Amino acid sequence: MITEKIKKQTPTEYEIHPLVKERWSPRAFSSKIITDTDIHQLLEAGRWAPSSNNLQPWRIIWGLEGTETYNRIFDCLVEFNQGWAKGAPALMLGAIKKDMKDGKENFHALHDLGLFMGNVLTQAQSMNIALHQMAGIDYEKAAKEFGFPDNYHVATATAIGYYGGNPASLPSDLQEQETKEKRERKSQNEFAFNGNFKK
């Protein structure tokens, strides 16, 4: 079912780009299908993210609803996320290569995966596609299921679909959160310091 896109209030302290300001992470998605081309556009945006030493340590597994790969990803989600993500038109896993060519640990790999997904998010927002990223996955099961060697770590999962889903399709305990009008974030002075760190 396609419904009107929920508008969230984003009380910014300074003006920011609409692609950032209007982005949020729904759990209910429109019934409009996500296509292979949509996914490849998102991945292409991610491909051009910066990475330490240009190592590009991200590895992505993706599947469209109704496919075997989608079902395999879904089976790796924790039960809570399975409760709502079953309505997502596409699912994605994000993994990192933990080491560099010389065998030393790549301390920046998770940061680089985050930059990759930041590009994907921005591209998705420009296409009216929403992403809901999840830490709630069985990492070991996913690594085994998709054949990752020990020097890789499956870090995140992502549900992908167009905005405009019906909140009534969600479990009752999530409907209120889905329709909450105002987004919240810490104030800048709680995390950014022009000088020494402050608790």
CA distance 90 to 140: 21
* 80 close to 74: Cβ distance less than 8 angstroms: no
Q: What is the pLDDT of residue 98?
A: 98
Q: What is the pLDDT of residue 51?
A: 97
Q: What is the pLDDT of residue 106?
A: 97
Domains of the chain as residue ranges with CATH:
26-161 (3.40.109.10)
Q: What is the pLDDT of residue 107?
A: 97
Quick check: 166 pLDDT over 80? yes
| Residue 96 CB burial class (10 angstroms; 0-12, 13-18, ≥19) | buried
* pLDDT digit string, tens, across residues 44-55: 999 999 999 999
Q: What is the pLDDT of residue 7?
A: 82
Quick check: 22 pLDDT over 80? yes
Average pLDDT, the chain: 95
pTM score over 0.75: yes
**pLDDT-derived band of residue 1, with 50, 70 and 90 as boundaries?**
very low
Quick check: helix, strand or coil at residue 199?
coil
